[in-house]
A and B are shown apart, each in its own frame.
Chain A
Amino acid sequence: MSQATDFETDPFLRLLTDALRAGPGSPQWHEAVRQLRTINPDEADEYRLIVTAREHLESGRDYRTLRAGPGFTRKVFDSIEREAARGPGLPLASAIAIVAVLAVVGTVLALVLLLMRSAEQPPTVEDLSRTYFTQPAISSEFVGAVPPEWQTFGAPPQIAGAGRGLRGGNGAPGQYRGGGIRVSVPLPADQSFAVEMTVRAARPTDQVDLRLFVSESTEFSTEKAVSPREFEVRIFRGQIGVFKPVAVEAGSPVKLPDGPSTIRLLLKMDRNFAVVERDGVRLYAGPHGLGADAPRWPGVRFLTRGDGAALEDVLVQSIRLLRP
């Protein structure tokens, strides 16, 4: 039987389908019936069946013919009256199109304004606070030797027994000595970062003064191994305090539990601001006081006095340096 393309190319099939649509009595019908008499009888038989079916359809044209009753017409024109009474409002499609265009234009304008504002205004401390730092640049757990990503300075810190964490190096009796670890390569001032540190504190002690710091340089002093300008988070005598450069206390110190506790500190920093959180609770948010263009050297320092088991009362279990 015929292929689909025949309906495009076969003149008889075009004529026949025209006749089937137009129906008995049409010129196409008469011509198709005339040509049917001239074609192969086997093929013509099936065509004749189709023609007969079409004739029956013609006889049954009234099948499912409906007319509108008065009630239907009244309903239609009532709704049209209501439509007309609402005034010459925009067609729904046009209204939707206009609203859509306005929404798109509004969104674009809002984005442009936001971009312009963000280009004009420097980031705020709240911008920093809302920034999530998820990409670890360094991730260290202190269970063996000090990982190579860190460089030691001052009195070298040690790994506590059984790999329980990093502790301060031995100090002198009655006098604090400093030492710790810092990153090998500084971070540029315009790059935001965060340092996450987990500390295990057995009890409040004044034998160990632990400081998570960001300094502008690696010029550490001989005894206490401090640099001239640092932003610090300090755990000492059962309290946590935040200090801006030149030992300016930022906010009030927060008391730690008397018993053993694990403390998770998070320090976020950008060009101008620092945010400090302890276990998700904000301790400080504001200017860090470091030079706007000075390099950033994050690190951890222990100031220890004496030696022995008391030095293991404050241990750094892990440190992660994170990028946004």
Chain B
Amino acid sequence: MQKRADRTTHAKAARTPVRPPADPITDLTPVALGRASDEELMRRTQRGDRQAFSLLYERYSSSVLSYLYRMLGNLEDVESIAQEVFLRAFRFAPTYRFPQKFSTWLFTITRNLAINYSRRRKRSPVRNVTELNLEGVEISGDPYKVAQRATDDVEKQEEIARVLKALDDLPTDQREVIVLGVFQDLSYAQIEEITGTKAVTLRSRMFHGLRRLARMLGSKPPEDDGMEEP
């Protein structure tokens, strides 16, 4: 476990940009701008700086696209909704209020649009995957290919693939907290702000969601965990 943990720590460090405190940026060079915090970039966006917004887009486009894909599972819809997310983020930039974390603000927009889409049930026209303007490590979403990339151990590959497949079958509220907390690295406090659900309930959903996955992995039939929420 320790070896895996070290590897994971490295992976996390590589994923998370190193950011200085949110001091006001006076140096306008791209390098300095690139070191600015999300919140500082957002404040610059509010003043009409589109370059600052493009940096935010670079930092978060993959997170938004992946979140939508994991929650909706439909690439065509993901593309159109994600475009709307960034357009709205730019349009409604004046409504962002520091010190709220930008990621929380952005994922609130993303989640709301995803929910609206789900309510309308209005699907985008079906297109061939090759016509989409998206790229992915494994765009087909095949869990076995992801598992093969993760380890050479065939037995572990099978287990990883089964967990990933089971993830899609979780109740939406449990899947959402796992996607936001595990895959998007958001804290319970942030998820609480985004979803409006109490942190204690989110902890419960995380626990019971993972327990359900564990039981699938252990070949035990999952129990109904839904009644244990506060």
Residues of A within 8 A of B (CB): 2-5, 7-8, 13-14, 16-18, 20-21, 23-25, 29-30, 33, 46, 49-50, 52-77, 79-80, 83-84, 88, 91-94
What's the least CB distance linking A221 to chain B, in Å? Answer: 78
Docked-complex contact A60 and B90, CB < 8 angstroms: no
Q: Which of B1, B50, B78, B146 contacts A66 (CB 8 A)?
A: B78
Docked-complex contact A57 and B163, CB < 8 angstroms: yes
Docked-complex contact A92 and B91, CB < 8 angstroms: yes
Docked-complex contact A20 and B135, CB < 8 angstroms: no
Q: Which of A3, A4, A24, A60 contacts B163 (CB 8 A)?
A: A60
Residues of B within 8 A of A (CB): 1, 4-9, 11-12, 48, 50, 53-54, 57, 61-62, 65-66, 69-70, 73, 78-79, 82-83, 86-87, 90-92, 94-95, 132-139, 141, 143, 146-147, 149-151, 156, 159-161, 163-164, 167, 178, 181-183, 187-188, 200-201, 203-204, 206-207, 210-211, 213-215, 217-218, 228-230
Q: Which residue of A lies closest to B53 (CB)?
A: A80
- A-B CB pair tally, cutoff 8 Å: 206
* 24 cross-chain CB contacts under 8 A: A7-B204, A17-B203, A21-B187, A21-B188, A23-B12, A24-B1, A50-B207, A50-B214, A54-B210, A57-B163, A58-B4, A59-B151, A61-B183, A63-B138, A64-B66, A68-B82, A68-B135, A72-B133, A73-B57, A73-B61, A80-B50, A80-B90, A83-B87, A91-B94
Bound complex: CA A92 to CA B94 (Å): 11
Docked-complex contact A66 and B136, CB < 8 angstroms: yes
- Known A-B contacts: A56-B217, A57-B213. Give 14 more (CB < 8 A): A2-B228, A8-B230, A21-B187, A25-B4, A49-B214, A57-B210, A59-B4, A63-B141, A66-B69, A68-B135, A72-B79, A73-B133, A79-B87, A80-B50
Inter-chain contacts of A68 with B (CB < 8 A): 61-62, 65, 82, 133-135
Inter-chain contacts of B149 with A (CB < 8 A): 62
Docked-complex contact B228 and A3, CB < 8 angstroms: yes
Docked-complex contact B137 and A62, CB < 8 angstroms: yes
Q: Which residue of A lies closest to B61 (CB)?
A: A68
Q: Which residue of B lies closest to A84 (CB)?
A: B50
Interface majority SS on A: helix, strand, loop or mixed?
helix
Docked-complex contact A75 and B164, CB < 8 angstroms: no
Docked-complex contact A91 and B141, CB < 8 angstroms: no
Docked-complex contact A53 and B65, CB < 8 angstroms: no
Known: A53-B213, A63-B141, A66-B62. A7 touches B207 (CB 8 A): yes
Docked-complex contact B134 and A69, CB < 8 angstroms: yes
Bound complex: CA A46 to CA B211 (Å): 8
Q: Which of A5, A21, A84, A93 has the most CB of B within 10 A?
A: A21
Inter-chain contacts of B73 with A (CB < 8 A): 64
Inter-chain contacts of B204 with A (CB < 8 A): 4, 7
Known: A23-B182, A77-B54. A57 touches B167 (CB 8 A): yes
Docked-complex contact A76 and B87, CB < 8 angstroms: yes
Docked-complex contact B150 and A75, CB < 8 angstroms: no
Bound complex: CA A53 to CA B164 (Å): 10
Inter-chain contacts of B159 with A (CB < 8 A): 52, 56
